[in-house]
Amino acid sequence: MRVQVDRRHRGSILVASLAGELDHHAAQAVRITLDQELAGQHGIRLILDLSGVTFMDSSGLGVILGRYKKIRDSGGEMAIAGASRSIDRLLEMSGLHKIVRMYPNCEVAVVALKEVVK
Amino acid sequence: MRVQVDRRHRGSILVASLAGELDHHAAQAVRITLDQELAGQHGIRLILDLSGVTFMDSSGLGVILGRYKKIRDSGGEMAIAGASRSIDRLLEMSGLHKIVRMYPNCEVAVVALKEVVK
Amino acid sequence: MNAANEMSSSFTAVSENEAFARVAVAAFVLPLNPTMEELTEIKTIVSEAVTNAIIHGYGERRGIIYLHCKIIGDRMELVIEDHGVGIEDVDLVRQPLYTSRPDLERSGMGFTIMESFVDEIEVDSAVNRGTRLRFVKYIRTPQSAARYEV
Amino acid sequence: MNAANEMSSSFTAVSENEAFARVAVAAFVLPLNPTMEELTEIKTIVSEAVTNAIIHGYGERRGIIYLHCKIIGDRMELVIEDHGVGIEDVDLVRQPLYTSRPDLERSGMGFTIMESFVDEIEVDSAVNRGTRLRFVKYIRTPQSAARYEV
Ligand SMILES: Nc1ncnc2c1ncn2[C@@H]1O[C@H](COP(=O)(O)OP(=O)(O)O)[C@@H](O)[C@H]1O
Ligand SMILES: Nc1ncnc2c1ncn2[C@@H]1O[C@H](COP(=O)(O)OP(=O)(O)O)[C@@H](O)[C@H]1O
């Protein structure tokens, strides 16, 4: 699984783009990579771009929920962008789509997240 | 495996484009489709376009050699176009590339075959 | 394909093999021409069951996972089995969001997802003997072809 | 991955399963990061051996094909076995272009191709008992990643 983290708009918003298959095998590396970015940051705004994720199961849900809780606890905001129909279905089953902001793609998410925190 | 047969230049040259995996499982259907086109034809000119073939093994060699013999026996010409590097390797191992004309793509093969039979 | 087509596989319980198991079962059912959605559901079931066998069934121990798949007509039967620690209270663990390993950030959604992606599910488990999941799924759309090449 | 990673599979000897066998082995060795060329070679070996078991080993009869794959470091061991008719003269059939079934338009190139795509090959066969092929192949390029997703 590839994870790429970009800083947008003078560092106020982080976009983490995941690509590949987000299963239990990939989860640990994704977790470590993301947590390095989040470490010691308060009020961070993170967009998880899932548009490159070709497969995901409940291990992926665990990673997403884990990051969501961390960010929320440190006064930040997290959003999901570009979830496929099948990922969307899993997010819905788990109730995650009720607590995490979801956007069709990264660009929309960036614009929306800037509004939210203003 | 998909097989598509096109007639080019007022029917004087047949182009059969194969797509998918040409293994033993696919071989029988490919054989039947091609032999229907060849049936009762004399002096036919066939270009086997392999550019869409994503996998091939020795069963594919058998199909190609079988068509080559039929066409040669009825006074026709056969050429292969668009073989990938790995298919090329198999054709070379079997000695087929010494007896069958090979071209990098379909367009080149059409031009060349028109010259050959003139 | 009137007679049954069957496939068994056993493999080392390591996380590298989660992808292998998904792909193997997907490739096996491909001649049924499942839709992309059905194929994703099948891969997800396999992934959940194999992951559970690795994390919960065997944990730190090495072990072997057993998989059996049988196709008759449009019916797929799938069995995934481990000889690990087993489950004490099957009704409890099948509840949505229940997980015995929140420390590993498990979501507790595995059983819920598996249940919603199959037509039948059967859980057999015995403590210190292991766990056996049996699924039945009908591939309802033999017409619509999903073509994959690996 | 210091300890061995192993996978066994057995499946109905029907031509639909040729693609399954190729894909399963390819998916299993993928964590070694083989090049595209190595992956094609591996799939081709599997395809040749499984096809031979179906056509020559079992012919009209139904039967089961056994496959075993083991990875230790960069070394892959692969065994493909049938319990079919067996081979009387192994030296004869290994010759390039030899085929006992020209009526099926077989090319007689299976053994030649398998031999040139592996580092070691071992053929064990007994008439009316079956045939067992054992291959060793080193994945020499663990660095260069070929990424496939199915
Ligand atoms: N193969 C297994 N062996 C032992 N326990 C299991 C197995 N599969 C599931 N369990 C138990 O069932 C619980 C719920 O499983 P599941 O719904 O997949 O959620 P999760 O894997 O996220 O914990 C697990 O936390 C575990 O306690
Ligand atoms: N599994 C097998 N069981 C019995 N005979 C076999 C088996 N594999 C190969 N053979 C014999 O070896 C011959 C050569 O095999 P091969 O080189 O693969 O060519 P082909 O399959 O095109 O005939 C076959 O024609 C067959 O007689």
**Total number of domains in chain C:** 1
All residues at 6 or more sequence positions from A104 whose CB lies less than 8 Å from its CB, including other chains: A81, A82
Give the C-alpha separation, B5 to C128, whole Å.
61
- Ligand 2 pocket residue status of D98, Cβ below 6 Å: yes
Higher-pLDDT residue of B40 and C37 is C37
C55 touches chain A (CB under 8 A): yes
Does B78 reside within a domain? yes
Q: How far is CA B17 from CA B13, B44, D50, in A?
A: 13, 16, 26
Measure the CA dihedral D141/D143/D144/D149, to 10°: 110
Give the residue on A whose Cα is nearest the Cα of C13. Answer: A25
What subunits make at least 3 CB pairs under 8 angstroms with B? Answer: C, D
Q: Which residue of D has its CA nearest to B61?
A: D107
Which of C133, A10, A29, C10 has its CA nearest to residue A18? A29
Residues of chain A with pLDDT under 50: none
Q: For residue B6, is pLDDT > 90?
A: no
Q: Which residue of chain D has the CA closest to C10?
A: D8
pLDDT of residue D150: 32
| Ligand 2 pocket check for D93: Cβ under 6 Å | yes
Write the residue with the smallest CA distance to atom 18 of ligand 1: C110
Alpha-carbon distance of A116 to A23, in angstroms, equals 31
Predicted confidence at residue C141, as pLDDT, reads 65
- Give the model confidence (pLDDT) of D1-11 as tens digits: 458 999 999 99
Buried b / exposed e along A101-113 (16+ C-beta atoms within 10 A): ebbeebeebbeeb
3-state secondary structure of B57: coil
Q: What's the pLDDT at A40?
A: 83
Contacts by A100-109, CB closer than 8 A, 24 or more apart: A100/A64, A100/A68, A101/A77, A103/A47, A103/A79, A105/A51, A105/A81, A106/A15, A106/A17, A106/A47, A106/A49, A106/A51, A106/A81, A106/A82, A108/A81, A109/A47, A109/A49, A109/A79, A109/A80, A109/A81
Domain count along chain A:
1
- Which CATH number do you get for residue D112? 3.30.565.10
Ligand 2 centroid to residue D52 C-alpha, Å: 5
Domain range for A109: 4-113
Residue B19 has pLDDT above 80, yes or no: yes
A118 found inside a domain:
no
ipTM exceeding 0.90, yes/no: yes
The answer to whether residue B21 is domain-embedded is yes
Domain of residue D107 covers 5-148
Which residue(s) pair with B56 in the sheet?
A: B22
Q: Is the Cβ pair A25, C110 closer than 8 Å? A: no
Task: Please give the order of strands across the beta sheet that includes A2-8.
Answer: A2-8, A13-22, A45-56, A77-81, A101-103
C-beta of residue B89 within 8 angstroms of C-beta of residue B57: no
Please give the model's pTM, rounded to 2 decimal places. Answer: 0.94
pLDDT of amino acid D145: 44
Say if residue D149's pLDDT is above 60: no
Q: Give me the pLDDT at residue D85, please.
A: 98
Integer Cα distance of C5 and C31 in angstroms: 10
Residue A42 maps to which CATH number?
3.30.750.24
What is the CB neighbour count within 10 angstroms for residue B41?
Answer: 15
Q: What is the mean pLDDT of residues B80-93?
A: 97
Handedness of CA C121, C108, A104, A36 (dihedral sign): negative
Q: Which ligand is nearest to the CA of C109?
A: 1
* Closest ligand relative to C103 C-alpha: 1
- Tens digit of each residue's pLDDT (9 = 90 or more) over D70-120: 999 999 999 999 999 999 999 999 999 999 999 999 999 999 999 999 999
Q: Which atom of ligand 1 is nearest to the CA of A59?
A: 22
Q: For residues C69 and C28, is the Cβ–Cβ distance under 8 A? A: yes
- Is residue B118 one of the residues assigned to a domain? no
Test site for ligand 2: of D52, D94, D99, most ligand atoms within 8 A of the Cβ = D52
Three-state secondary structure call for residue C145: coil
For ligand 2, the distance from its centroid to the CA atom of residue D29, given in whole angstroms, is 26
CB atoms near residue C71 (< 10 Å): 22
Which chain A residues are closer than 8 Å to D149 by Cβ? 20-21, 54-55
CA–CA gap between residue D20 and residue B71 (Å, rounded)? 33
- Do B10 and B42 touch, CB atoms closer than 8 A? no
Are residues C138 and C76 in contact, defined by beta-carbon separation less than 8 angstroms?
yes
Our answer on whether B and A touch (3+ beta-carbon pairs < 8 Å) is no
Q: What is the DSSP letter of B7?
A: E
Q: What is the rounded distance in angstroms from the CA atom of residue D122 to the CA atom of residue C147?
A: 35
Note whether D56 and D14 are within 8 A (CB). no
Would you say the CB of residue D108 lies under 6 angstroms from ligand 2?
A: yes
Q: Does the CB atom of residue D56 touch ligand 2 within 6 A?
A: yes
Give, for all 150 residues of chain C, the pLDDT tens digit: 458 999 999 999 999 999 999 999 999 999 999 999 999 999 999 999 999 999 999 999 999 999 999 999 999 999 999 999 999 999 999 999 999 999 999 999 999 999 999 999 999 999 999 999 999 999 986 454 444 333
